[in-house]
Amino acid sequence: MLLGHPVLFKSLCYVDGRWIHSDSAATIAVQNPADQEVIGHVPMLDRAQIEAAISAAHHAFESWRWVPQERRSAILLRWHELILRHQHDLAGILSLEQGKPLAESRGEITYAASFVEWYANDAKRLCGRTIPTHVNGAHLGTVMEPVGVAALITPWNFPVAMITRKAAAALAAGCTAIVKPAHETPFSALALAQLAEEAGFPAGVFNVVLGEPQMAMETLVRDVRVRAVSFTGSTRVGGLVARASAESGIKKLALELGGNAPFIVTEDADLDQAVKVAIGAKFQTSGQDCCAANRIFVAAPLYERFVHQYSEAVRGLKVGTAFEAGVEVGPLMHQAAFDTTAARVADARTKGARITVGGQAHALGGWFFEPTVVADAAPGMRIYDEENFAPTSAISSFNTLDEVVARANDTEHGLAAYICATRMDTIFQLVRRLEFAMISVNGVKFTGAPIPFGGMKASGLGREGGAEGFEPFVEIKYFCLGNLGLPLSVTA
């Protein structure tokens, strides 16, 4: 792949302003999921090298925290400008290692850049407050203090946006950051590090490390010098991160975990619109998205019509490699994802579901799976009960709002939910009764830099994006300034 930026494709980790290899010379191969071809190797650092990255970030924090906000924001805005300037290269790298269609990768780069710009500007308004005093002769207030070194552990499905959403907030608040990206998609993270270096971040402020996943996570999370941990990934691994964090003392913890999003189509919905929205909500990132519509519930009077129209729309989706024109669905990320997807569909088939479209390996071979519609899905089927990181849809009918609310909420997860309806009383009732932290009504796009992204229940702790996104990276420090010579209160 030809790049406009000659050194954006990096094969070294970035620590303390230097590009480094593993001391043990250990590497891991990175594959293109579309054809399993090796596109490069990256170093797997040893524990001592990751500890050295923590030391570098800890040292850099002592000066970065005192850098005037205008200067910190200016560096972030330069990073933002460089990301947009090289967005075509970044999108190409993303598609090469992740497999998502190039059009989606371009959208992710723009989305990722928006967090850098937003936090660069909003950090200027990260203010404490003056508190009306209850103490004679004293002045009371708060200041916002950066917590220190932040470990940012990110997934493979959005390898650029999940970094900037965390890192921009942390860096703008005055923290230093160590990013541990997924080893399946490291080149996007390393490209961001190259642009961060060009933007002018001082050595040690922004670092990217790779290592054996369990060791790297535990080294970062257990170190007492790491004061904030932000993780995006599965609920199972999020539990391991929380446990490791607790065992090394109390620190700030943000977890953005799995989802099992319901998509509810009520009897009053616009059917054509509902089908269009459902396609977008299910098949972006080839279904490998924690916000993807996982269980589609359709009011009984519309059910068969919806299944027919939706199935025809799914049949028309173009499957292919990332760089083909018009491709809408790419490959699954790895063999394990492919095998799990095939097993879920087979399980549904044996338990009485109708496979109206797809249901098997795609003719392209490899890790491509046909976009699939499973009608009459029911509890007890894996495709209904489990989060599906795949281009597979599970559809079932419902009769009453009480029924669909109970079924939608019958999951440990509580990240995103979708509603297609036209009556405001129906919409508002569902918005209030659904146990999900983010609800989109009659549309697919609902995330962005200004909004608080996160989940309830087993879908996580804390929020990313919006003013709330600063919370994992700041402490509120209260002060009481007494004996200032202020007049004492007069008592009657």
Catalytic residues: 256
Residue 15 CA to its chain's centroid (Å)? 23
Q: Are 27 and 42 in contact (CB under 8 A)?
A: yes
Q: Is 449 exposed, middle or buried (0-12, 13-18, 19+ CB in 10 A)?
A: buried
The tokens of 355 are what?
A: 């496979």
Tell me the pairing of strands 416-420 and 438-441.
Answer: parallel
- At how many degrees (to 10) do helices 69-85 and 87-98 cross? 70
Q: What phi and psi, each to the nearest 5 degrees, are found at residue 14?
A: -125, 110
Q: Look at residue 404 and give its three-state secondary structure.
A: helix
Q: Look at residue 478 and give its three-state secondary structure.
A: strand
Give, as one character, the DSSP assignment of residue 176: E
Separation between Cα atoms, residue 471 and residue 473, nearest integer Å:
5
Separation between Cα atoms, residue 45 and residue 50, nearest integer Å:
7
Q: Look at residue 354 and give its three-state secondary structure.
A: strand
Q: Are 56 and 15 in contact (CB under 8 A)?
A: yes
Q: Are 370 and 359 in contact (CB under 8 A)?
A: yes
